[in-house]
Each structure stands twice: as structure tokens, then as C-alpha cells.
């Protein structure tokens, strides 16, 4: 068994990682400023990156959730349902995270008892339950038509559309940085180390008196809350929320991004999400009917030839130079 | 009860017949998924795409034969030929070119490789057959309808769904059980499923067995699709729907269980069609609720064998 997903080929010094992060932030801001329509794509990419950070936590334990976009959908629908009564974005963000985290706790209590394929499939099944409910309960959710989000306020103000786009972009960037640092610290902590223990030999972990289920549960709740945050950001950016957010293929995309970016660093998800969204936009513009095929081919190439993901490629370069 | 039954009894009867036909189709797909998992230890996400491509190929072939002015009975041959072609061509291609490279990889990556394949096949299907609904229901019309006696009334139901679909499903179940237990090739497959290394030590060519099993599984998925094609209009997205449904069947039954898949396909098929008549909003949810309920009580599925924990 190779361990490519969790163990990067080379370690990059923290200072190198910090420099790369700063470089990334500068690049993203520059791109959003130079090409205005990219701002939308990049905001969504940053939001998805936050959700993928959550996938990364579970991957560390060797578990893959093929239904994680349900938490993203919960966050997005929190905004859609509450915005008419409570238009304050700065309140909706933590609310989306809290509600998704709460769902994560309830669902987590159930799914952390399972491993591998069953863990993945149960998540898939539960996300499909949510998807079907969102689609079928038309009176509540307007079905596949979705719900429009409008009239959001930021700290009590209602900025015009361009400003609002910049504010959402800034929020996404700030939260991405915050959660990136958080996940980095978490993975370095004993809880994070125990997470890796679930992957290698769970029984040994329990011999040391550590409850594997509790370790996995806390990671699961965290990842659900991050999915919720991502969902609120997506809802604020696209201003239109549909059940498609919870469909299993959207969850597949999140796992896709995790592998594309590489699970070796908290920067991986953002590298992956940006690359994914850019390839999607350009592929859809170039060959409207085959963008999915192009993404699939990219994923295959990454898995077969660069299993460490984009981060692995980058880390390999940096390691060699030092 | 009396009044309610006379009003709704017929609907329940119809739901049961619908559920049976439904279960037969899901079983065909799920059993292939299960067979492949047994030997390859990979849950093939692209299995649903093979179902969809089988369905489209069967419909196209049927329409093509009809346009030549050939007798409509050849439509049945078209179903089988299309399934054999899709399974026989795509199966070996996928196994040899792609899956073979990832057998010693992590489960996460294996799952994602088949997900990538699913994305690719989904677009291939759209490029070849477009996004307009395609309907070729000649085989179903040819067999006509049967009046099924139910209480004092009768329910008209197509003979295709009443006899042909369950018939093929039962034949597949019995044939597969016989093949796996009574023939040399079948027993070799079982040997590789149980313990690959020991089987290889006995001189079994595991690579050949893997190729054969995957091709069989692909052909079963394509046959499921081909059989489903006369009963519904084909639209993009049927592959994605089918795969999650057969996941639910397989997880409910327990991984690698052939007969178990038949029982859980029946449970899920019937549960779904009864929900259609009682609470249509929840139809799509029922399979997953059944699965979650079963896994709550039996974490390894109804017929699955719990794995011993490694130290």
C-alpha cells in the first residue's frame, strides 16, 4: 500500500509554506483586480477550498466522504432561508457554520462507527436524502428552481454590487487564511496525530486509551462546519441556491479537488480549488459539451502521474532547490 | 379498511407490480457492481455509466434495425447484442488500460479513478447521443399487456415488465450462482475473491480472472440498461441516478453478496414504488432510508460478514 495521499514526498519548511501562502494571496488579489469576472470564480474557488480543507481532515484518517457537499448545501440554504428575515451577512456566516456543524454532530455520531467504503457510502446516502428533500419539498425550497438570495447587508450596510463582490471576495480570502491556519495547527496537534493513527492502525490507537470514534467525530464536526461556511460563501457569491449543491457529483468534486491539490499541506485545497474552477470555466468556454470529460482526464493524469497533487509537484521543486 | 382498500387496493397492487419490475432492473446493475467489488476490491463509480451506455446503445440499435424495415421482434436481439457489445468492448478496455494501474493504490484513489471515468463517460454519452430524450419502446409494445387479477378487479400491466424483466433477473441470479459454484471458471473467481494471494500461489492467473470478472460485471450493467431502455425515455443523468441506487442495494445487502443483492433489490424496489403511491415526495429518499436503517442494526449489511480487526 502506498501512502501518497497523506504523506508528501518532501517536507517544506514552515517559512517556505508561509511565503507560498503570501504569494498565493497576492496572486489571487491581483487576478481578481486585473480580470473582474475572475473575482466570481476565485471567490467560489476559495469557498470550496475551505470545504475541501474539511475533506483533508477526514483524508488524514484515511476516510473519504462521498457526501460532504450536504454540509455545503446546508450552509447555502441557511442563507437562502434566513436572508429575508436576517440579511446580515456577518451573522449568516457563523450561523451557517453552526447549523452545518450541528448537523455534522448528529450525522457524525452515526457515521463515525463505519470505515472505508461504508463510511463513504453512508455519507453519500445521507447527502442524497438531503438532495431529494430539497428537490421534492417544493413549497419550502422551490425545488430545482432554487431560491434567489438578495438584499444582503454587510455590517449593517448595503453596498452596491461591485463593492459587495469585493467584500465577499475579501471575506472568502480572510476565512480561507483563518481556516487554513486552523487546520494546519489541528493536524500538528495530538488530535491531528491521532487522526493519522486511525488510518495506520486503529486498534493500536485504542490500546493507548484513545477513542478512535471521538477523534474522528471531532474532525467530522469541524469539517461539517467548514462545509457550512463554504456553503454560505457560495450562496452569497452566486446569489442563487439550488439542490444541485447537495447532489453526490458535487461531493465527488470536493474529493477530486482534495486529490488534485494534494493532501500534504493546508495550501493544497486552495491550489486544487483554484485550478479546478479555472479548468472548469475555460473548458466549458472552449468545449461546452466536454468540460466534464476534460476535468475527468485531468484527475486521471494527476492520480496516475502526480499522486501528491499540485502541492506535491510544488513541494518537490522547492525541496530540490534547498 | 374495506372502503379504503377498494379505493387504494388497486394502487397498491400496481405498486407491487411496479416494484417487482423495478427491483429486477436494479438487481441486474447491483449484482454486477458486487461481482466486480468481490474480485477487484474496487467500488466502481462508473458502473452507472455502463448502464446508461448500454441503454442508449440498445435503443439506437433497435431504432436502426426498425429503420431498415426488419421485423420488430429483432428488437429483443438488439437488447442483448447491444449489452454484449458494450460490456465486451468497454469492459476489457477499462480494466486493461486504467484499473490495472491502480490495484495497489489506496482505496480513496481507486474510488476517484472510477469517478474520473464516470465524468468522462458521462460526456462521451452526451457527445454520442445528445441531450434530447430517446425512446425505443417497441420491445415492450410487442409483448402487449396482461390483465393481472387482483381481488375482484384486474390490473393491466405490460407483459414486458411483468414476465421478461423479473424472468431475466431470476435467470441471472440462478445462472450466476450456478456459474460461481459449479463451473471451474466460476470457482476460480470465488477463489480469487476469498484469498487472492493463496489463489495465485495455486497457479491461478489472477490478471485473467480480474479481466473476466470486470467484463462480466460491465456486461451485466449494460444488460440492465438495455432491458431498462424500452420502459423509459433515456436522458442524461440516468447513469448518476442508477449508480447511487445500486450503491444502496449493495451496501444494504453486504459487499460481495450475490443472493443478498437480490433480496435487498426487492426491498428497495418495492419500498420505492409503494412510496410513489403513498408519499410521492419521499420516493427518492426511501432506498437510502432502508439502507441507513439496515446499517444501523447490521453495520456490515444484511448478509455481509464482519471483518476481523487487525492489530
Q: What is the mean predicted confidence (pLDDT) over A301-315?
A: 85
Q: How does residue A10 score in pLDDT terms, banded at 50, 70 and 90? A: low
Enter the DSSP assignment of A189: S
Q: What is the pLDDT of residues B164-214, one digit of tens each?
A: 899 999 999 999 999 999 999 999 998 988 888 899 999 999 899 999 999
Looking at residue B2, its pLDDT comes to 57
Using CA atoms, how far apart are residues A168 and A78, in angstroms rounded to an integer? 17
Mean pLDDT of A5-16: 62
Is residue A3 scored above 60 in pLDDT?
no
On chain A, the residues whose CB falls within 8 A of the CB of B285 are 128-129, 132-133
Q: Does B292 score more than 60 pLDDT?
A: yes
CA distance A285 to chain B (A): 15
* Interface contact B126-A289, CB threshold 8 A: yes
Q: Is the Cβ–Cβ distance between A32 and A173 less than 8 Å? A: no
| Cα dihedral across residues A322, A57, A259, A284: positive or negative | negative
Instruction: Tell me if B250 is assigned to some domain.
Output: yes
Per DSSP, which regions of chain B are E strands? 145-150, 153-158
Measure the CA–CA gap between B253 and B37, rounded to whole angstroms.
13
Burial (CB count within 10 angstroms: exposed 0-12, middle 13-18, buried 19+), residue B183? exposed
- pLDDT higher than threshold 70 for residue A6: no
User: Phi and psi dihedrals of B136, rounded to 5?
Assistant: -135, 90
Distance, in angstroms, between B205 CA and closest chain A CA?
21
User: What does B232-285 look like in DSSP terms, one character per residue?
Assistant: S-B-TTHHHHHHHHHHHHHHHH-TT-HHHHHHHHHHHHHHHHHHHHH-GGGTTT
d(CA B95, CA A196): 31
In the three-class reduction of DSSP (H, G, I as helix; E, B as strand; rest coil), residue A35 is classed as: coil
User: A241: which DSSP letter?
Assistant: E
Q: Can you tell me the distance from the alpha carbon of A116 to that of A313, in angstroms, rounded to the nearest whole number?
A: 27
Q: Do A128 and B244 touch (CB under 8 A)?
A: yes
- As a whole number, mean pLDDT of residues A145-170 equals 86
Q: Is the pLDDT of residue A76 over 80?
A: yes
- Does a structural domain hold residue B257? yes
B93: which chain A residues are within 8 Å (Cβ-Cβ)? none
Span of A97-106, A178-187, A194-203, B207-216 with lowest mean pLDDT: A194-203
- Tell me, yes or no, if B282 comes closer than 8 A to chain A by beta carbon: yes
User: Are B309 and A59 an interchain contact pair (Cβ–Cβ within 8 Å)?
Assistant: no
Number of A–B residue contacts, CB under 8 Å: 146
pLDDT confidence band for B310 (50 / 70 / 90): low
CA–CA dist B172, A72 (Å, integer): 41
Residue B304 resides in a domain: no
User: Which chain B residue has its CA at the smallest distance from A309's CA?
Assistant: B109
- Tell me which residue range forms the domain holding B33: 10-297
Residue B1 has pLDDT above 60, yes or no: no
Greatest CA separation for chain B: 67
Task: Give the single-character DSSP code of B162.
Answer: I
Checking if the pLDDT of A96 tops 60, the result is yes
Biggest CA-to-CA distance, chain A: 60
In this prediction, the answer to ipTM > 0.90 reads no
**Distance in angstroms (rounded) separating the CA atoms of residues B288 and A53:** 27
pLDDT number for residue B3: 61
Q: Report the distance separating Cα A295 and Cα B267, nearest Å.
A: 37
Q: Which pLDDT score, from 0 to 100, does residue B311 have?
A: 56
Nearest residue of A to residue B309, measured between CA atoms = A203
pLDDT of residue A11: 64
- Asked if B111 and A3 come within 8 Å (Cβ–Cβ), the reply is no
The answer on pLDDT for A66 being more than 70 is: yes
Beta-carbon contacts of residue A67 (< 8 Å; ≥ 6 apart): A120, A122, A123, A124, A125, A126, A127, A128, A248, A251
Residues whose CB is less than 8 angstroms from the CB of residue A123 and which lie 6 or more positions away in sequence, other chains included: A65, A66, A67, A68, A70, A107, A111, A251
Question: Which candidate from B108, B119, B251 shows the least CB-CB separation from A64?
Answer: B108
Q: Report yes or no on B126 lying in a domain.
A: yes
Q: Report the gap between the CA of B252 and the closest CA in chain A (Å).
A: 10
- Predicted confidence (pLDDT) per residue in B235-286, tens digit: 888 988 898 889 899 989 988 888 899 999 999 999 988 888 888 878 888 9
Model pTM?
0.88
pLDDT in tens, A105-125: 999 999 998 888 888 888 988
Under 8 Å between Cβ of A292 and A276: no
CB–CB of B115 and A113 under 8 A?
A: no
Whether B107 and A64 lie within 8 Å, measured CB to CB: yes
Residue B200 lies in a domain: yes
Query: For residue B283, what is the nearest residue in chain A, using CA coordinates?
Result: A132
For residue A57, give Cα distances in angstroms to A146, A184, B47, B87, B143: 31, 10, 28, 38, 55
* Count of other CB atoms within 10 angstroms of residue B173: 19
C-alpha torsion sign, points B304, B96, B112, B222:
negative
B184 found inside a domain: yes
User: CB distance A129–B285 less than 8 Å?
Assistant: yes
Q: Which of B54, B126, B120, B64 is nearest to B87 (CA)?
A: B54
Q: Which of residues 266-305 of A touch B (CB under 8 A)?
A: 289-293, 295-297, 299-300, 303-304
**Domain contains B227:** yes
Number of domains in chain B: 1
Report the SS3 class of residue B158. strand
Closest-CA residue of A relative to B284 is A132
Q: Residue A237 — pLDDT band, cuts 50, 70, 90?
A: very high
Q: CA-based angle B123:B124:B128, to the nearest 5? A: 115
Q: Residues A94-105: what's their mean pLDDT?
A: 96
Nearest chain A residue to B304 by CA: give it: A118
**What is d(CA A137, CA A114) in angstroms, rounded to the nearest whole number?**
30
pLDDT digits (tens, 9 = 90+) for A31-53: 888 888 888 999 999 999 999 99
Does the distance separating the beta carbons of A299 and B115 come in below 8 Å?
yes
Which of A75-84, A205-214, B3-12 reaches the highest mean pLDDT? A75-84
Percent of residues, chain A, with pLDDT higher than 70: 95
- Whole-number Å distance between alpha carbons of A268 and A310: 7
DSSP annotation of B163 reads: I
**Which of A5, A62, A125 faces B248 most closely, judged by CB atoms?**
A125
Smallest CA–CA distance, residue A242 to chain B, in Å, is: 17
CA angle A116/A120/A126 to nearest 5° reads: 145
Question: What is the structure's pLDDT at A181?
Answer: 93
For the domain that residue B102 is a member of, what is the CATH number? Answer: 1.10.3470
Nearest chain B Cα to A293, which residue? Answer: B120
Question: For B210, what's the count of Cα atoms within 13 Å in the CB-facing half-sphere?
Answer: 20
User: What's the rounded Cα separation, in Å, for the pair A289 and A267?
Assistant: 31
pLDDT for the residue numbered B128: 93
Q: Which residue of B has its CA nearest to A110?
A: B296
Q: Looking at residue B5, what is its pLDDT?
A: 60
- Which 138-197 residues of chain A touch chain B by CB within 8 A? none
Residue B151, pLDDT score: 72
Instruction: Provide mean pLDDT across the span B40-65.
Output: 93
CA atoms within 13 A on the CB side of B175: 10
Q: Are the beta carbons of B37 and B255 closer than 8 angstroms?
A: yes
Q: Is the four-CA dihedral A65, A69, A70, A72 of positive or negative sign?
A: positive
pLDDT score of B125: 93
Q: Give the integer Cα–Cα distance in Å for B82 and B84.
A: 5
Residue in A with minimal Cα distance to B279 = A136
Which residues from chain A sit within 8 angstroms of residue B248, using beta carbons? 121, 125
A270-280 confidence digits (pLDDT tens) = 999 999 999 88
When mean pLDDT is compared across A68-72, A226-230, B69-73, the lowest value belongs to B69-73
Q: Is the residue at B308 inside a domain?
A: no
Contact B112 A5 (CB under 8 A): no
Select from A120, A122, A203 the Cβ nearest to the Cβ of B111: A120
Candidate from A1, A128, A252 with C-beta closest to B288: A128
Q: Out of A114, A132, A299, name the one closest to residue B284 (CB).
A: A132
Burial A73-92 (b: 16+ CB within 10 A, else e): bbbbbbbbbbbeeebebeeb
**pLDDT at res. A2:** 40
Pair A87, A220: CB distance under 8 Å: no
A248 at interface of B, judged by CB pairs closer than 8 A? yes
Amino acid at each position: 500500500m502506498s501512502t501518497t495521499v497523506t504523506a508528501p514526498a518532501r517536507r517544506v519548511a514552515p517559512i517556505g509554506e508561509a511565503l507560498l501562502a503570501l504569494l498565493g494571496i497576492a496572486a489571487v488579489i491581483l487576478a481578481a483586480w486585473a480580470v473582474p469576472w475572475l473575482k466570481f470564480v476565485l471567490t467560489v474557488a476559495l469557498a470550496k477550498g475551505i470545504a475541501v480543507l474539511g475533506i483533508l481532515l477526514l483524508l488524514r484518517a484515511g476516510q473519504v466522504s462521498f457526501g460532504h457537499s450536504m454540509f455545503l448545501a446546508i450552509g447555502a440554504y441557511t442563507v437562502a432561508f434566513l436572508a429575508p428575515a436576517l440579511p446580515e451577512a456577518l451573522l449568516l456566516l457563523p450561523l451557517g457554520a453552526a447549523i452545518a456543524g450541528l448537523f455534522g454532530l448528529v450525522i457524525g455520531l452515526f457515521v463515525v462507527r463505519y470505515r472505508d467504503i461504508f463510511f463513504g457510502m453512508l455519507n453519500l446516502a445521507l447527502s442524497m436524502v438531503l438532495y431529494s428533500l430539497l428537490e421534492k419539498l417544493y413549497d419550502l425550497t422551490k425545488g430545482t428552481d432554487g431560491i434567489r438570495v438578495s438584499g444582503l447587508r454587510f455590517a449593517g450596510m448595503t453596498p452596491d454590487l461591485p463593492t459587495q463582490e469585493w467584500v465577499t471576495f475579501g471575506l472568502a480570502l480572510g476565512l480561507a487564511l483563518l481556516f487554513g491556519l486552523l487546520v494546519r495547527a489541528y493536524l500538528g496537534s495530538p488530535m491531528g496525530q491521532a487522526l493519522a493513527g486511525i488510518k495506520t492502525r486503529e486498534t493500536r490507537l485504542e490500546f493507548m486509551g484513545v477513542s478512535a470514534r471521538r477523534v474522528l467525530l471531532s474532525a467530522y464536526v469541524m469539517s461539517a462546519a467548514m462545509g457550512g461556511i463554504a456553503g454560505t460563501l457560495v450562496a452569497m457569491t452566486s446569489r442563487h441556491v439550488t439542490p444541485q449543491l447537495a447532489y453526490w457529483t458535487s461531493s465527488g468534486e470536493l474529493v477530486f479537488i482534495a486529490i488534485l491539490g494534494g493532501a500534504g499541506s493546508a495550501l493544497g485545497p486552495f491550489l486544487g480549488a483554484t485550478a479546478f474552477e479555472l479548468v472548469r470555466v475555460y473548458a466549458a468556454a472552449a468545449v461546452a459539451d466536454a468540460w466534464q470529460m476534460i476535468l475527468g482526464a485531468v484527475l486521471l493524469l494527476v492520480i496516475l502521474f502526480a499522486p501528491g497533487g499540485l502541492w506535491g509537484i510544488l513541494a518537490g521543486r522547492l525541496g530540490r532547490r534547498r | 379498511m374495506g372502503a379504503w382498500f377498494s379505493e387504494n387496493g388497486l394502487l397498491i397492487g400496481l405498486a407491487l407490480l411496479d416494484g417487482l419490475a423495478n427491483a429486477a432492473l436494479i438487481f441486474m446493475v447491483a449484482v454486477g457492481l458486487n461481482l466486480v467489488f468481490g474480485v477487484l476490491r474496487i467500488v466502481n463509480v462508473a458502473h452507472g455509466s455502463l448502464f446508461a451506455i448500454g441503454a442508449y446503445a440498445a435503443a439506437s440499435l433497435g431504432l436502426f434495425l426498425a429503420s431498415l424495415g426488419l421485423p420488430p421482434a429483432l428488437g429483443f436481439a438488439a437488447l442483448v447484442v447491444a449489452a454484449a457489445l458494450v460490456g465486451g468492448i468497454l469492459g476489457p478496455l477499462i480494466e486493461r488500460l486504467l484499473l490495472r494501474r491502480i490495484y495497489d493504490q489506496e482505496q480513496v484513489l481507486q474510488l476517484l479513478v472510477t469517478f474520473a471515468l464516470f465524468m468522462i463517460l458521462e460526456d462521451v454519452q452526451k457527445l454520442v447521443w445528445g441531450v434530447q430524450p430517446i425512446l425505443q419502446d417497441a420491445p415492450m409494445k410487442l409483448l402487449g399487456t396482461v390483465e393481472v387479477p387482483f381481488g375482484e378487479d384486474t390490473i393491466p400491466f405490460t407483459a414486458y415488465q411483468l414476465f421478461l424483466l423479473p424472468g431475466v433477473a431470476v435467470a441471472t441470479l440462478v445462472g450466476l450462482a450456478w456459474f460461481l459454484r459449479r463451473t471451474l471458471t466460476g470457482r476460480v473467481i470465488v477463489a480469487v475473491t476469498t484469498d487472492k494471494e493463496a489463489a495465485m500461489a495455486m497457479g491461478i492467473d489472477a490478471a485473467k480472472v480480474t479481466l473476466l470478472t470486470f467484463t462480466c460485471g460491465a456486461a451485466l450493467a449494460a444488460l440492465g440498461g438495455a432491458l431498462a431502455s424500452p420502459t423509459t425515455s433515456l436522458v442524461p443523468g440516468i447513469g448518476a441516478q442508477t449508480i447511487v441506487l445500486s450503491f444502496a442495494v449493495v451496501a444494504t445487502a453486504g459487499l460481495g453478496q450475490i443472493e443478498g443483492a437480490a433480496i435487498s433489490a426487492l426491498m428497495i424496489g418495492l419500498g420505492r414504488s409503494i412510496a410513489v403511491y403513498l408519499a410521492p415526495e419521499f420516493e427518492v429518499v426511501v432506498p437510502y432510508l432502508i439502507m441507513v436503517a439496515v446499517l444501523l442494526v447490521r453495520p456490515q449489511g444484511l448478509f455481509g460478514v464482519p471483518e476481523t480487526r487487525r492489530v
